Amino acid sequence: MSEEEDSTWFTIAEKFFGLLVILIGAIIIYAAVTSADVMFPAIFATGGLSLIVVGAFMFLAKAN
């Protein structure tokens, strides 16, 4: 494999996992806000929001 093909697959994987982390963060926020059983929903919502920020960074970052 050439160097160019390796970089392409790395970029695709990075974008995919970025979207996956964003999705997981959104699910955590949704579960924290809608569930009555969660003890401290603000903590879980903050954790979900931080996952969304990390996922957005992964998705928007340019891989060289």
pLDDT in tens, 12-44: 899 999 999 999 999 999 999 998 787 888 899
Task: Please say if the pLDDT value at position 5 is more than 80.
Answer: no
- Cβ neighbour number for residue 25 with a 10 Å cutoff: 21
Task: Please say if the pLDDT value at position 4 is more than 70.
Answer: no
Higher pLDDT, 6 or 16: 16
CA distance 14 to 19: 9
Domain ranges of the chain: 3-60
- Give the pLDDT of residue 35: 86
